[in-house]
Amino acid sequence: MKLHIVWGLLMFSGTAFAVASSGCGHPCGDTGTCDKPGSGTSTSTGGSTASAGAAGGGSGGMAGAGGSAPCGGSCKDPTPLCDKMSNKCVACLADGDCKTADAAHCDMGACMKCTASAQCAGHTGTTACDTGSGKCVECKLGEEMACSGGKTCDLTTDKCVAVAAGSVKNCVACSNDVQCQDGACIPLDFNKQPHGYFCLKAANPACQQQPFDIFVNKQSISGKAATKYCGVDEDQTTCEAVLALVNAWACSGAPGKCINPMTMQEVDVPGALCKTVGVPNKCTYACNAVQQCLAGPPANTCGDGKGGITGWCGG
């Protein structure tokens, strides 16, 4: 049996394939097709190889297309940084990347509210964290070092204010215990509603200091435990009204208003009454006993309530 061997060299995608053919009775043509006697069929070797090669080449191309990544390009606002661990663009990698005092803490690539003052370290002027609001602030209770040069920390706003330590007198508005000349900064009400904070002296042990003869037992704004302070009758008057009488402020006739002698302007004074106190049109306030009024005349009486229980100082 005569054996005819034909070597066909096929080049595809840089690879050479050797094809052997036998028993065809004639060499394989350029098409690579051999007719086997009696089989009635044809086989296509080269075509199949080429098809397989084409399929292999196609698969390799698709693998290349899937390799792109989010950080492969440039990260832009609001996520300008690349987290190489997750291969994602993020807003921050550390607390220092967060630029606003309202969201100073970096948490899993996002700027969030602060939970500790250390997270506010990079925010000049607002280095304390108010954990209630989650914002970086100038100062807060226990972290008041930023307030210097005659300033103290206003604990109602968490800001440094131009109020020196020990400068606020009795029954004058305050926002920190250290501001008071004596006693502490105590919350007061008026007509059952919060009215602000005022410096009050502590009882020792009683309050024999007219007109501040009413016990007020509350915790201070700076956290001093509740104890007895000498204040005013919160149901009827305010520190402002008492001081208007102490300083002999005049009035035009309307309740709740007095004339400031420094500006000669009428201002709101909650709890003030415009009555005759020695002379007409003087600011005073409601009272139930002389101990709530001034120690000397003409405001050392509590009367003219016209049969009722409540009068006014100087009446």
Give bridge partners of residue 35 from the DSSP assignment: 42
131 with 196, same domain: the answer is: no
Residue 221 counted as domain residue: yes
Among 41, 46, 43, which residue's Cα sits nearest to residue 7?
46
pTM for the model stands at 0.72
116 with 181, same domain: the answer is: no
Mean pLDDT of the chain: 82
Total domains in the fold of the chain: 2
230 with 308, same domain: the answer is: yes
What's 161-220 look like in SS3?
A: ECCCCCCECCCCECCCHHHECCCEEEEEEECCEEEEEEEEEECCCCCCCCCCCEEEEECC
The string of pLDDT tens digits covering residues 123-171 is 999 999 999 999 999 999 999 988 999 999 999 999 999 999 999 999 9
182 with 257, same domain: the answer is: yes
CA-based torsion, 88, 94, 97, 99: positive or negative: positive
Higher-scoring residue by pLDDT: 238, 146: 238
Instruction: Residue 94: give the domain boundaries.
Output: 81-137
pLDDT value at position 251? 97
Residue 270 counted as domain residue: yes
pLDDT value at position 144? 93
Task: State what percent of residues in the chain have pLDDT above 90.
Answer: 68
195 with 122, same domain: the answer is: no
Residue 165 counted as domain residue: no
**pLDDT level of residue 69 (50, 70, 90 thresholds):** low
Using DSSP, state whether 120 is helix, strand or coil.
helix
133 with 192, same domain: the answer is: no
287 with 211, same domain: the answer is: yes
Is the model's pLDDT at 309 over the cut of 60? no
Residue 115 counted as domain residue: yes
Q: Distance of CA 196 to CAs 151, 154, 221, Å?
A: 20, 13, 10
Hey, which of 23-27, 147-151, 197-201 has the most confident mean pLDDT?
A: 197-201
CA distance 22 to 37: 11
- Side-chain half-sphere CA neighbours of 7 within 13 A: 4
- Is the separation of the CB atoms in 24 and 35 below 8 Å? yes
pLDDT value at position 209? 85
Least confident of 36-45, 127-136, 274-283: 36-45
Residue 265 counted as domain residue: yes
129 with 229, same domain: the answer is: no
